[in-house]
Structure 1
Amino acid sequence: MQYYEDIANHFPGGLYRYVRVESLYDKQSVEHEFFIRISQSFPFMEKLCATDCHPQNKKQSYKSMNDNHNLSIIKYFYLSQLEIE
């Protein structure tokens, strides 16, 4: 399987070494922890499409509590295309 479509907040995780293209679709906000799970589950992701994702709910509270120092950088080593709609 090279494609994984309509990943949402309830995505359970796992390791998908052969998936290269992912699409996110969620009516809820997508938080930082979710993107960490995505990067760990799809280490060879080349393209990510995010559709209808709402702004993060916790973003402002992280910033006010710790000046954003507790949010780790998420690396996508093979990502060459990012589409946000």
Structure 2
Amino acid sequence: MIQQSQGQSLLVVDRADFLLDTWRKSERQDFFRFVNNQWNSYQDGMKAKLIVGLQTSQEIEALKILDSQGQSRIFRLHDFNDIG
């Protein structure tokens, strides 16, 4: 992520959990589906990398949001601790 972000604009949305906690499960699933289906369109249109920070939950852990190479787009905090 750091390598891909060099020289790019970066948009970080942190602590969006408060919003997700007010939605029904079907609404959260619609949001996750939107993110998965529209991620690359956002990057092209906004010319920025998007990072959404959420607390870990079983629902988040179960998501299959993948990049074009089939790698998960969901990272845990400890994944970032290994960057150095």
TM above 0.5: no
TM-score, with normalisation over the residues of structure 1? Answer: 0.30
TM-score, with structure 2 as normaliser: 0.31
> Which one scores higher on RCO, CA 8 angstroms, separation ≥ 6?
2
Is the helix fraction higher in 1 or 2?
2
**Higher share in strand:** 1
